Amino acid sequence: KVDLNTIDVVRELAKRFSLPVKNITFAGLKDKNAVTEQHLAIKGLKKFPKEVEGKNYKLSLVGFSDQPLKLGNFKGNYFEIVVRNVSKKERINAEKNVDFIQKYGFANYFGEQRFGSVKNAKEFIVKHLLAHKYEEALQEYLFSYSDWKIKRRLKRLWGNWRKYLNAMPQQAIYERKLVEELAKGVSYKQAFLALPKNIRLMFAFTYQSYLWNRFLYRFIVRYFPFCEVPQGIKDWTYAFYTHMSDTLFEKVKNLEIPYLGREYKPSDLKVERIIEEVLSEEGISEETLNQERIGIRLFADGVRKAVAMPRDLKMKRLSKSTVKVSFILPPGSYATVLLRKLFLCQRVQ
């Protein structure tokens, strides 16, 4: 596929085959702005042609399974990326960083793709849900267009649901279903249930990813020499460690940071203190962690490695300002994060 993310394709296929979205499963999300390949599993089709082609995507039948695909069902991702308009400074940074990253990895932040739903929003939807502000939460979701003309028109029509529907983009299938429920007179809270559960869960995952990035950022800034680079969304930044000893690396290479530290208590006291600090700053208490809204638990338990280790990291200069980079990343690690470390992080010797 090209110029489509995984969810775009899944929605299109569900519509094409008249199937519920939940019948189409995948092991991970692929970016929109790339040429990507991945496996999908489709349940409920009586007949499947060897190939299916649509606008900007193509499916080929590779086999059958008794089980759906699940997140994490893959061993890693191989990337080949051509980076253009590379400045001399960025190229020199990358040349210096290649060996360091191969040996000591890089900070395993969630990448900017994880935060697409808040790129044009003022606040995390979960923050409104925690405060029982369901109208504000819906507005945050339904106004999150990059086109300011569409956003302004929708704000003006808020509450006039029939006119609002006419002003909405036709391809906004699930958002339109939500507004149709509002037009029937249901509450703002109930309207959220018109969204598929995976979209509602996305609201929670996005906020948890933001919190986890803050945990890791503070850990690095507090305990390592570091460089700071923009994340590519809002004014957020990444901090990457720029120096590492073999002895220290043995301690941190397998360090796992919990998403929230409720079920998965940190093994590192420094990390535990940082988590407590960040949650306090966000106004999140032990009681908050147990809460549910709109049919989902807002905070799920889990852990994530603090350090990502790429394999076969190679860089080839194609021209004065063009570089080709290839590497393999473990599941859940982001190529965009590695590239920011590689090209933008200056290691002071």
Q: Which residues are catalytic?
A: 31
Closest CA to 62 of 29, 36, 39, 30: 39
Residue 111 is encoded by which pair of tokens? 């990448």
Helix (H, G, I), strand (E, B) or coil at 241: strand
Helix (H, G, I), strand (E, B) or coil at 41: strand
Strands (E), the chain: 24-26, 40-42, 51-54, 57-60, 77-83, 106-107, 226-230, 237-241, 256-258, 292-293, 296-297, 303-305, 307-308, 311-319, 322-329
d(CA 17, CA 56): 17
DSSP H or E stretch at residue 196: none
- What counts of helices (H) and strands (E) characterise the chain? 13, 15
d(CA 344, CA 320): 17
What is each CA distance from 317 to 4, 81, 134, 335, in whole angstroms? 29, 12, 51, 18
Residue 65 is encoded by which pair of tokens? 């399974």
| Helices 134-142, 173-183: crossing angle, 10 deg rounding | 140
Helix (H, G, I), strand (E, B) or coil at 140: helix
DSSP conformation letters of 156-180: HTTT-HHHHHHHS-TT-HHHHHHHH
- The shares of helix, strand and coil residues in the chain, as percent rounded to the nearest 5, are 45, 20, 40
